[in-house]
Copies of this chain bind each other. A is one copy, B any other.
Amino acid sequence: MKKVTIADVAQHAGVSKSTVSQYLNQRFDYMGEQTKARIEEAIAALEYSPNIVARSLKQKSTTTIGVIVANILHVFSTHVIRAIEDVCNEHNFHVIICNADDQPEKEKKYIEMLRAKQVDGIIAVPTGGNVALYQDLVKKNFPIVFMDRLIHGVEIDTVLLDNEKASFLAVEALVKQGYSQIAMISPFLDPNITPREERINGYKKALEQHQIPLEERYIVPSAISEMQESIGRMMQLPNPPNAIIAVNDRVLKQVLTYVKNQQMRIPEEIAVIGIDDVPYADIFSPSLTTVAQPAFKMGEKAANLLFEKMQNKERSNQAQIYRFEPELIARESC
């Protein structure tokens, strides 16, 4: 089952490889009609399909990009990847998916492998643990775009949510309904995981703006695995909150689990609002008010930015930050 190559086509058509190559690359400027027809016929007869690896070697482009996410199981990643894939498909590019699991070593391995495979560009949700590598990439002017997390001191364009705004919207929605004992539940803080940090900052600023004194014990960062206990302790405070903001979708689930186990009523006994829309928001009882991020648009933007970079390879002066607007989806949980 020997593969048919351009040489076979050339021979079959009675022309040179060069001419077949011209044909393949649509350089018809000076090509005789008959030559064209003969090549066409030969390609069909032999069922020839060009070997893109060989082409890539010569042209120094693989028409493939790499996408490194934290974990493809997260809903956000899923939307982002789908958007990227759609843009790539329009350009006849392909995308290699990698899960870094927030482990810098895994991320490093993937970045190095992707580069060795000569991908034309990379979109990543960076772990933050490989600053030297990131810097090397920009030094080499390799096309790369970051998403969701801001890595300070590295000049790479980044697409992310206006996280502070997301918290503002959440706080505002709550305040409008008359709540003022507002808690914020989050996983442990990690300086590299921008969304949590910024959302908590935004929460603090929003409270201030609404002249609500900050109650530190209403901010509960804890591991997901211990979140039931942490929420429990907070609810035992002499002055427990009457509203909770979940910093992201995984936390929301924890909050809802707690509320369910305690048989509390939403929103009468406790109002709940989540940052990140969730697929079950509408069917939940009561339906859940959330602050959605335009994940699809963000993925699209990242892909478009990357294509710009891949097209005009001149070094861009400075890293841009692209903030996307969150949107309040008012439902019944507050």
Chain A interface residues toward B at CB < 8 A: 1, 49-54, 56-57, 62, 64, 71-73, 78-79, 81-82, 85-86, 89, 92, 94-99, 112-118, 140-141, 253, 256-257, 260, 278-280, 282-285
* A289 → chain B closest CB, angstroms: 16
Q: How far is the CA of A118 from the CA of B52 in the complex (A)?
A: 7
Q: How far is the CA of A282 from the CA of B49 in the complex (A)?
A: 51
Q: How far is the CA of A283 from the CA of B81 in the complex (A)?
A: 27
Which residues of chain B are near A71, meaning CB under 8 Å?
82
Which residues of chain B are near A95, meaning CB under 8 Å?
96-97
Known A94-B113, A140-B1; contact A62-B73, beta-carbon cutoff 8 A: no
The residue among A89, A117, A118 with the most chain B CB atoms within 10 A of its own CB is A117
From B49, B62, B260, B282, A285 is in contact (CB under 8 Å) with B260
Which residues of chain B are near A141, meaning CB under 8 Å?
1
Q: How far is the CA of A1 from the CA of B257 in the complex (A)?
A: 55
* A314 → chain B closest CB, angstroms: 12
28 A-B residue pairings within 8 Å (CB atoms): A1-B140, A49-B112, A50-B116, A51-B116, A51-B118, A52-B118, A53-B53, A53-B62, A53-B118, A57-B57, A64-B117, A71-B82, A72-B78, A72-B82, A73-B82, A82-B99, A85-B97, A85-B98, A85-B99, A86-B99, A89-B99, A94-B98, A253-B279, A257-B282, A257-B283, A280-B280, A280-B284, A285-B285
Which residues of chain B are near A79, meaning CB under 8 Å?
73
Q: How far is the CA of A52 from the CA of B53 in the complex (A)?
A: 10
Which residues of chain B are near A64, meaning CB under 8 Å?
96, 117
From B62, B72, B280, A81 is in contact (CB under 8 Å) with B72
Q: How far is the CA of A85 from the CA of B49 in the complex (A)?
A: 28
Which residues of chain B are near A280, meaning CB under 8 Å?
253, 278-280, 284
Q: How far is the CA of A78 from the CA of B280 in the complex (A)?
A: 17
Which residues of chain B are near A51, meaning CB under 8 Å?
57, 116, 118
**Cross-chain contact A85 with B72 (CB below 8 angstroms):** yes
Q: How far is the CA of A82 from the CA of B97 in the complex (A)?
A: 10
* A96 → chain B closest CB, angstroms: 5
* A135 → chain B closest CB, angstroms: 13
Known A94-B96, A283-B257; contact A53-B56, beta-carbon cutoff 8 A: yes
Q: How far is the CA of A283 from the CA of B114 in the complex (A)?
A: 40
Q: How far is the CA of A256 from the CA of B281 in the complex (A)?
A: 12
